[in-house]
């Protein structure tokens, strides 16, 4: 992962796609923007403009799994979005379990005193930042030591 300098994270949704930017050195990410989507299809020109502007080394797409870890209809759509990102922009695309990131993002907004209407202040970009930080943390976590066998 040391070759990675900058990543874009995507919180995929059928109406909105949150975007965040992050980097492995600090393991932190921040909100970038929220893109509109029509039935899960983004404006690919907007994504291309973001990729041209930020020049990320890789992309991370949140995978909305069911609470038991099984795939959902939405996770299948997110995986398709990830494949399309890879096909269109020829960048490595990783997926990351994003269970509870939107819930956590809403809680973070409340803690910051930024409640208000979800439609007026969507949390999708914050959810993208949280999932990207989760992916970065998972990449930097030490791998378990192999068990010794007598």
Question: Which tens digit of pLDDT belongs to each residue from 125-145?
Answer: 888 998 999 899 888 766 555
User: Given a cut of 90, is residue 94 above it in pLDDT?
Assistant: yes
pLDDT tens-digit series, residues 12-23? 999 999 999 999
Is pLDDT larger for residue 110 or for residue 37?
37
Could you write out the DSSP letters of every residue in 9-73?
EEE--SSEEEEEEEETTTTEEEEEEEEEEETTEE-HHHHHHHHHHH--SEEEEEE---TTS---H
Instruction: Assign domain 7-140 to its CATH superfamily.
Output: YqgF/RNase H-like domain (3.30.420.140)
Task: Tell me the average pLDDT across 110-130.
Answer: 64
**Residue 138 pLDDT:** 86
The answer to whether the CB of 7 falls within 8 A of the CB of 21 is yes
Give the start-to-end residue ranges of the domains of the chain.
7-140
């Amino acid at each position: 992962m040391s070759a990675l300098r900058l990543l874009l994270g995507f919180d995929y949704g059928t109406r909105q796609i949150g975007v965040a930017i992050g980097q492995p050195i600090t393991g932190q990410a921040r909100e970038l923007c929220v893109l509109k989507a029509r039935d899960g299809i983004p404006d690919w020109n907007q994504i291309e403009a973001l990729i041209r502007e930020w020049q990320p080394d890789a992309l991370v797409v949140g995978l909305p799994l069911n609470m038991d870890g099984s795939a959902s209809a939405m996770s299948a759509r997110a995986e398709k979005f990830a494949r399309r990102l890879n096909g269109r922009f020829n960048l490595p695309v990783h997926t990351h379990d994003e269970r509870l990131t939107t819930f956590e993002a809403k809680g973070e907004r409340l803690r910051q005193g930024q409640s208000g209407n979800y439609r007026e202040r969507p949390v999708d970009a914050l959810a993208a930042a949280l999932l990207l930080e989760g992916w970065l943390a998972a990449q930097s976590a030490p791998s378990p030591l192999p068990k010794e066998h007598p």
